[in-house]
C-alpha cells in the first residue's frame, strides 16, 4: 500500500500552478483573444488598447500585415488584401463565386486546394486564417510576459461543416496553437453569461453579425450544454441593414447611378446612421456629393419599417430552429444576444416581442464569444479540476454516402450528439466487382449534387464474388470537435481502407506541415527550435497529467505495471530536459502513451462505474 508519493528529483509531484490558456473568436469581420487570469475573464488588447483585430490579412512583398493596418490599406491594394476569409474556409472557387459574386481576388488551385493569388504567391484561406491566429497568439504571449500558452479553444459557427472545422483546426496548427477544442460560438456565448451555473432550461442564442445571422437553441441541464438545433442565414447581416439605408439615401437624393467612391461614402454614412439610431430617435445624415450637400432625415420608426422584412426573416429562422429543437417558444428561459448588429433597438425589441422576454445584453456582444471560449479553455487545460461544466455538441449537418443514381444515403443524421460512430453495410452491384469507391457527403438534400462533397476514397482488393455477396461495412466516426473519419471493410476478408476525412479541397497532413515550415521561414523563425519547444511543452503536459492520474488512481496498477510506467515517465522527463532532437522527445512520449494505455482504460472503466454508483446512491 502506497502511503507516500515520493517524487523523483526534478519531477514535480502535484503541479498546481495556473496553466495559460486562451479562447479565440476567429470572426468573419473581427477576431478576438481572451483569457482567464486571477479568476477574471478578459479580452486581451493590442498595444493601442484595441481588443478587436479586424480579420484582414495583407500580403506585400516579404511582409504580411494583419488587422487594422491591413484594413486601412485594403482599398489601395484590394487583390493582395484578404478580407473576411472565414467565408472561404472549406469552400471551392465555384461556391464562392455563386455566394459572393464579384470579388477582387484571383482564385487559383494550389496543391489541390483553393488559394488566392497574391504578390506573395498563392495563399489559401487556411494560411490567411493562420496569420490572424498567429497575430492573436503573439498578442497573448506578449501579455503573459513571454510565456507560451498551453492550449487554445477556438470558436466556430455551430453550422460549420466538416471541411470548415478541419480548415479552422489546420489554421491553428499552422499558427503553432494546440487546439483544446473547437467550440460552437453560441455555446461560448452562453458560457460567458455563466448560464451553466444553477439554471436549467432552454437557451436561445441570437447572433447577428456583419454578414451572417445564426440562431441556436441550447438545452442546459446541471452544467451540461447541449446544442439542440441551429439555423440562420449565411448571407444576412448588419451589411444588409446598411444597404437598406443606402437605398433610402438614393431615393431621397435622386442619385441612382453612384460611382464606386460615392457608393463607399453612402455605405459609410449608412453605417454611422445605423449606429447613431441606437441612441437617438432621429438622425440627420449629411451627404456631400457632386458639389452639393444633401441632408436625409431618418427616424427610428422609419428605420424599423425599412428593416421589418429582414427582422422577420431572422424570426422565421428562430421559429424553424425552435421546431427543429422540438421546443416551444415559451420554454426558452434566456435569450443571449451576440454580434454588433444586435445593438440595434429594432432587433432588440423584435427579439423581446418574439420570445416574450428581454434578451441578455449586459456583456459586450462583440466580445461575449471570446470570453466564453476563454472560460472553457481554462477548464480544458486543467485549471479547474472540479468544474462540472460539460459542453455537448451535435452534428450540424447530416453525413452520408453516395449510392446508385446520384442519391445520398444518410449515415449520421444532423443534430446527432457527438462524438458518434455509426456503421452501415453496403454490397457490390456487379459480379466479380473487386473495388468500391466511396464518396462521402455532408448536407440535408437527397441529391449528391446538392450536398457538400467531403472526400472520395476506394476500397480495393475485394475478392471477386457474385453481385450482392460482399458485405462492406462503412463506419463513420465523428470526434468531439465534429471532425469526421471514415473507414470501410469487407467483412468476410477483412480488407480495409480508412481515411481521416480531409475534404477534397482541404489540406493533407503533409501540406499542413509544409505550410507550417513556410510560415516560419517567412518569419525567420527556427523551425527546429520551435518544434523542440513544442515537444517539450507536450512532454511536460503528458507528465503532469499522468502524475495527477497516478496521485489518485495508482492502485489500479500492480507493482510491475507501475514500475514500467514510472520508468517510461522518467525516460521522457530525461528526454524533455536533455534531448536536442524533437523526434527523440516525440518517441519518448509515444513510449509513455503505450505504457499508460492499460492504466487509461482501467481509469475509464472506474469512472464509468463511479458515475453510475453516485447515481444509485442518490436514488436510495
The residues annotated with a catalytic role in the active site are: 25, 86, 185, 207
Structural element, H or E, at residue 610 = helix 597-619
Q: Could you say whether residue 597 binds another protein (CB under 8 A)?
A: yes
Residue ranges in 175-214 that form contacts with another protein under rule CB under 8 A: 180-181
Identify the residue among 127, 143, 168, 596 touching another protein (CB under 8 A): 596
**Strand blocks (E) in 278-363:** 282-289, 292-299, 332-338
Supply the minimum distance, in Å, between the C-beta of residue 434 and another protein.
24
Residue 397 class from Cβ within 10 Å (0-12 exposed, 13-18 middle, 19+ buried)?
A: buried
How many CA atoms are closer than 13 Å to the CA of 77, on its beta-carbon side?
20
Please report whether residue 610 would count as binding another protein according to CB under 8 A. yes
* Helix (H), strand (E) at residue 585: helix 582-595
Contact call for residue 477 and another protein (CB under 8 A)? yes
Which residue number, 297 or 417, has a Cβ lying nearer to another protein? 417
8 A C-beta contact, residue 284 and residue 293: no
Question: Could you tell me the smallest distance in angstroms from the CB atom of residue 546 to another protein?
Answer: 7
Residue 165 sits in the site that holds another protein (CB under 8 A): no
Residue 422 is a binding residue for another protein (CB under 8 A): yes
Examine residue 323 and tell whether it contacts another protein (CB under 8 A).
yes
Which of 98, 99, 221, 492 lies at the binding interface for another protein (CB under 8 A)?
221
Compute how many residues bind another protein; rule: CB under 8 A.
54
**Rounded Cα distance, 154 and 464, in Å:** 48
Q: For the chain, give the number of residues.
A: 620
Binding another protein (rule: CB under 8 A), the pick from 5, 251, 295, 417 is 417
Cβ–Cβ contacts within 10 Å for residue 264, how many?
12
Stretch that binds another protein, among 117-125, 301-309, 335-343, 410-418 (CB under 8 A): 410-418
What separation in angstroms does the CA of 554 have from each of 8, 120, 593? 16, 54, 16
The phi-psi region of residue 111 (left if phi > 0; otherwise alpha if psi is between -120 and 50; otherwise beta) is: left
Is residue 224 a contact point for another protein (CB under 8 A)? yes
Could you give the angle at the alpha carbon of 177 between the alpha carbons of 174 and 182, nearest 5°? 100
Rounded to whole angstroms, what are the CA distances from 125 to 87, 442, 463?
Answer: 9, 21, 42
Nearest approach, Cβ of residue 393 and another protein (Å)? 10
Tell me how far, at minimum, the Cβ of 15 lies from another protein, in Å: 11
Identify the DSSP state of 542: H
Cis preceding linkage at 419, omega within 30: yes
Q: Which is nearer to another protein, 148 or 479 (CB)?
A: 479
Q: Using the rule CB under 8 A, is 253 a contact of another protein?
A: no
**Cβ nearer to another protein, comparing 305 with 498:** 498
CB neighbour class for 605 (10 Å; exposed up to 12, middle 13-18, buried from 19): exposed
**What is the CB neighbour count within 10 angstroms for residue 469?**
13
DSSP 381: T
Report in angstroms how near the CB of residue 81 gets to another protein at its nearest: 36
Q: Which stretch binds another protein (CB under 8 A): 52-60, 66-74, 428-436, 596-604?
A: 596-604
Q: Which stretch binds another protein (CB under 8 A): 1-9, 51-59, 200-208, 380-388?
A: 380-388
- Binding of another protein by 102 (CB under 8 A): no
Is there binding between residue 222 and another protein (CB under 8 A)? yes
> Does the protein bind another protein through residue 382 (CB under 8 A)?
yes
Among 425, 431, 498, 509, indicate the residue that binds another protein (CB under 8 A).
Answer: 425
Q: Which residues contact 194 (CB under 8 A, 6 or more apart)?
A: none
Residue range at the interface with another protein (CB under 8 A); choices 210-218, 292-300, 411-419, 487-495: 411-419
Strands 81-83 and 63-66: unpaired
Least Å distance, CB 589 to another protein, is: 8
Q: Is 381 in the site for another protein (CB under 8 A)?
A: yes
**String marking each residue 281-320 x if it binds another protein according to CB under 8 A:** -----------------------------------x--xx
Bridge-based pairing of strands 420-426 and 417-418 is unpaired
Of 36, 171, 418, 486, the one binding another protein (CB under 8 A) is: 418
As a whole number of Å, the CA-based R_g of the chain is: 27
Q: C-beta of 190: minimal distance to another protein in Å?
A: 16
Which among 87-95, 137-145, 275-283, 475-483 is the span making contact with another protein, rule CB under 8 A?
A: 475-483
183 CA to centre of own chain: 6
Distance of alpha carbon 243 from alpha carbon 397, whole angstroms = 31
> What count of other Cβ atoms lies within 10 Å of the Cβ of residue 221?
13
- For strand 21-25 and strand 151-156, is the pairing parallel, antiparallel, or unpaired? parallel
Query: Is residue 567 a contact residue for another protein (CB under 8 A)?
Result: no
The minimum distance between CB 454 and another protein, in angstroms, equals: 19
- Sign of the Cα pseudo-torsion (371, 373, 374, 379, in order): positive
What minimum distance in Å lies between the beta carbon of 427 and another protein?
11
User: Least distance in Å: CB of 336 to another protein?
Assistant: 21
Assess 404 for contact with another protein (CB under 8 A). no
Q: Using CA atoms, how far apart are residues 97 and 155, in angstroms rounded to an integer? A: 26
Does residue 151 interact with another protein by CB under 8 A?
Answer: yes
How far from 362 is each of 188, 342, 484, CA to CA, in Å? 15, 12, 37
Q: Max alpha carbon distance in the chain (Å)?
A: 91
Shortest gap between Cβ of 323 and another protein (angstroms)? 7
Of 546 and 579, the one with the shorter C-beta distance to another protein is: 546
Among 175, 542, 575, 585, binds another protein (CB under 8 A): 542
Is 545 a binding residue for another protein by CB under 8 A? The answer is yes
Q: Does 419 participate in binding another protein (rule CB under 8 A)? A: yes
Burial of 350 (0-12, 13-18, 19+ CB in 10 A): buried
Closest CA to 165 of 150, 175, 179, 178: 179
Nearer to another protein, 272 or 315 (CB): 315
| Candidates 136-144, 219-227, 460-468, 518-526; binding stretch for another protein (CB under 8 A) | 219-227
Binding residues for another protein, rule: CB under 8 A, are 19, 150-151, 180-181, 221-222, 224, 316, 319-320, 323, 379-382, 388, 390-392, 416-422, 425, 477, 479-480, 541-542, 545-546, 549, 589, 592-594, 596-597, 600-601, 603-604, 607-608, 610-612, 614-616
Amino acid at each position: 500500500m502506497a502511503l507516500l508519493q515520493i517524487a523523483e528529483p526534478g519531477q514535480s509531484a502535484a503541479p498546481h500552478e495556473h496553466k495559460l490558456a486562451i479562447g479565440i473568436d476567429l470572426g468573419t469581420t473581427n477576431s478576438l483573444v481572451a483569457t482567464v487570469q486571477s479568476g477574471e475573464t478578459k479580452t486581451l488588447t493590442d498595444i493601442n488598447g484595441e481588443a478587436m483585430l479586424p480579420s484582414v490579412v495583407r500580403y506585400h512583398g516579404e511582409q504580411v500585415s494583419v488587422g487594422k493596418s491591413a484594413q486601412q490599406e485594403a482599398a489601395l491594394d484590394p487583390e493582395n488584401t484578404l478580407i473576411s476569409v472565414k467565408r472561404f474556409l472549406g469552400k471551392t472557387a465555384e461556391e464562392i463565386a455563386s455566394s459572393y459574386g464579384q470579388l477582387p481576388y484571383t482564385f487559383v488551385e494550389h496543391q489541390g486546394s483553393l488559394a488566392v493569388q497574391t504578390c506573395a504567391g498563392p495563399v489559401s484561406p487556411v494560411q490567411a486564417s493562420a496569420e490572424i491566429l498567429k497575430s492573436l497568439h503573439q498578442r497573448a504571449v506578449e501579455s503573459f510576459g513571454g510565456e507560451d500558452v498551453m492550449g487554445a479553444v477556438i470558436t466556430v459557427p455551430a453550422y460549420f461543416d466538416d471541411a470548415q472545422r478541419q480548415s479552422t483546426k489546420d489554421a491553428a496548427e499552422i499558427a503553432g496553437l494546440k487546439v483544446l477544442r473547437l467550440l460552437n460560438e453560441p455555446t461560448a456565448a452562453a458560457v460567458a453569461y455563466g448560464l451553466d451555473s444553477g439554471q436549467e432550461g432552454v437557451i436561445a442564442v441570437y447572433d447577428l453579425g456583419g454578414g451572417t445571422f445564426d440562431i441556436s437553441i441550447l438545452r442546459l441541464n446541471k452544467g451540461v450544454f447541449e446544442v439542440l438545433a441551429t439555423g440562420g442565414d449565411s448571407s444576412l447581416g448588419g451589411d444588409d441593414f446598411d444597404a437598406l439605408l443606402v437605398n433610402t439615401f438614393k431615393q431621397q437624393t435622386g442619385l441612382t447611378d453612384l460611382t464606386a467612391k460615392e457608393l463607399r461614402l453612402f455605405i459609410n454614412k449608412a453605417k454611422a446612421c445605423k449606429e447613431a439610431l441606437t441612441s437617438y430617435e432621429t438622425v440627420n445624415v449629411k451627404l456631400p456629393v457632386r458639389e452639393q450637400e444633401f441632408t436625409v432625415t431618418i427616424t427610428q420608426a422609419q428605420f424599423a419599417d425599412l428593416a421589418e422584412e429582414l427582422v422577420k426573416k431572422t424570426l422565421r429562422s428562430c421559429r424553424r430552429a425552435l421546431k427543429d429543437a422540438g421546443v416551444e417558444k415559451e420554454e426558452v428561459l434566456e435569450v443571449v444576444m451576440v454580434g454588433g448588429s444586435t445593438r440595434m433597438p429594432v432587433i432588440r425589441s423584435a427579439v423581446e416581442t418574439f420570445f416574450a422576454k428581454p434578451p441578455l445584453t449586459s456583456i459586450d456582444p462583440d466580445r461575449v464569444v471570446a470570453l466564453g471560449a476563454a472560460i472553457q479553455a481554462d477548464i480544458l487545460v486543467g485549471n479547474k479540476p472540479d468544474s462540472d461544466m460539460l459542453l455537448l455538441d451535435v452534428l450540424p449537418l447530416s453525413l452520408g454516402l453516395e449510392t446508385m443514381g446520384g442519391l445520398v444515403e444518410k449515415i449520421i443524421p444532423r443534430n446527432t450528439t457527438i462524438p458518434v460512430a455509426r456503421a452501415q453495410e453496403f454490397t457490390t452491384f456487379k459480379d466479380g466487382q473487386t473495388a468500391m469507391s466511396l464518396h462521402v457527403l455532408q448536407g440535408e438534400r437527397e441529391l449528391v449534387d446538392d450536398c457538400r462533397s467531403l472526400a472520395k476514397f476506394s476500397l480495393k482488393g475485394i475478392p471477386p464474388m457474385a453481385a450482392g455477396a460482399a458485405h462492406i461495412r462503412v463506419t463513420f466516426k465523428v470526434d468531439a470537435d465534429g471532425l469526421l473519419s471514415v473507414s470501410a471493410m469487407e467483412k468476410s476478408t477483412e480488407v480495409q481502407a480508412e481515411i481521416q476525412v480531409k475534404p477534397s479541397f482541404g489540406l493533407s497532413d503533409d501540406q499542413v506541415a509544409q505550410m507550417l515550415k513556410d510560415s516560419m521561414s517567412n518569419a525567420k523563425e527556427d523551425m527546429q527550435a520551435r518544434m523542440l519547444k513544442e515537444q517539450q511543452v507536450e512532454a511536460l503536459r503528458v507528465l503532469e497529467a499522468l502524475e495527477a492520474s497516478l496521485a489518485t488512481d495508482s492502485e489500479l496498477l500492480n507493482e510491475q505495471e507501475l514500475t514500467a510506467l514510472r520508468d517510461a515517465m522518467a525516460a521522457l522527463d530525461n528526454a524533455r530536459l536533455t534531448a536536442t532532437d524533437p523526434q527523440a522527445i516525440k518517441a519518448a512520449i509515444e513510449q509513455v502513451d503505450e505504457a499508460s494505455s492499460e492504466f487509461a482504460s482501467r481509469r475509464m472503466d472506474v469512472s464509468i462505474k463511479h458515475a453510475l454508483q453516485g447515481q444509485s446512491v442518490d436514488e436510495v
